[in-house]
Amino acid sequence: MRVRLWGTRGSVAAPGVETARYGGNTSCVEVRHADGTLLILDAGTGIRRLGSSLDAGVRRVDVLLSHLHMDHIQGLGFFDPLHDPAIEVHLWGPCSPTQDLWTRLVRYLSPPLFPVYLRDLPWLHVHNVGVGRCFEIGPFTVSAELICHPGPTLGYRIADSGATLAYLPDHEPALGLKGSYLSGEWTSGFGLAHGADLLIHDGQYTDAEYADRVGWGHSSIRQAVGFARLAEVSRLVLFHHNPTHTDDDLDRLIDVAAAGSSVPFPVMGGMESATFDVISR
């Protein structure tokens, strides 16, 4: 599978000259199989450009939402295929204890926040993702689990021909820890990430920033690296960059994280337009 990043910023879009290299769009990742099957992970503002770039021959798109915070759905209404009856769009995401995904999405995708009602898009298919279940989309096997973040939030593990991508864009596995991580069994998201060939993981904060934001649902870069080490991944892409971090800030922070002597895998900062071929190790 080939993975391309279309939005790597967390919380709110942060366009500007100082963020041009890592990008200012919010979470959106394209996952493409050689046979053309297309998955999109989250519908942050990055999905607008992705939608505009699709070949005319695309007839089906599956969008997997990790959760419904605004930075992960804000681009949805501006995703061209959503307004094209020739394209089947499937939206997958978490329900809440009392509401299904459709009902939850309508709170944003309806007036006055958005001028179009979901019910006016009959070619749109909305699927509640069952916690802990696996499902198939074309050649991909998708697993979803609840992970530690405020409100129902899913992490995804996507496998194809032995290659595995784990996507945990908003995740605070260190919440409540008094030191290092406990065993994998007691660590949120471990099963999704364990042994992944590529892990895309929240690395929003510095340690100092995290100290003032405990419980907000995100990780420091150091915590993300520690989680990736526990999960024995092959590569780590840091994601959901803090909107206040400039390109220069991110260069410096990621260099420090990647240079740790005990980090046995490549650590990269997620940049818009970066692509990764995910192959089985």
Partner 1 sequence: MSEKRVEVILMRQLAGYLATPMLVVNPLGTLLYFNEPAEVLLGKRFDEVGELPASAWSTVFAPSDADGQPLPPEEFPLLVALARHTPSQRAFWIRSMDGQRRHIEVAAFPLIGLEGTPLGAVATLWES
Q: How far is the CB of 8 from partner 1 (least distance, A)?
A: 24
Residue from 55, 136, 185, 212 in contact with partner 1 (CB under 8 A):
185
Stretch that binds partner 1, among 46-54, 59-67, 92-100, 205-213 (CB under 8 A): 92-100
- End-to-end CA distance of the chain, in Å? 13
Q: Which residues pair with 269 in a beta bridge?
A: 238
Q: Which is nearer to partner 1, 87 or 224 (CB)?
A: 224
Stretch 140-169: interaction string toward partner 1, x if CB under 8 A: -----xxxx---x-----------------
Nearest alpha carbon to residue 199 among 227, 236, 230: 236
Pairwise CA distance, residues 132 & 140, whole Å: 16
User: Is 274 among the residues that bind partner 1 (CB under 8 A)?
Assistant: no
User: What is the side-by-side order of every strand in the sheet holding 198-202?
Assistant: 134-137, 140-146, 154-160, 163-168, 198-202, 236-239, 267-269
Tokens of 142: 């998708």
CA angle at 127 for the pair 2 and 62, rounded to the nearest 5°:
25
131 in contact with partner 1 (CB under 8 A): yes
Nearer to partner 1, 138 or 184 (CB): 184
Residue 262 CB, nearest distance to partner 1 (Å)? 22
Residue 260 CB, shortest distance to partner 1, in Å, is: 24
Q: And the tokens for 165? A: 């991508």
Among residues 123, 191, 216, 249, the one that binds partner 1 under rule CB under 8 A: 191
Binding site for partner 1 (CB under 8 A): 94-97, 130-132, 145-148, 152, 175-178, 184-191, 194
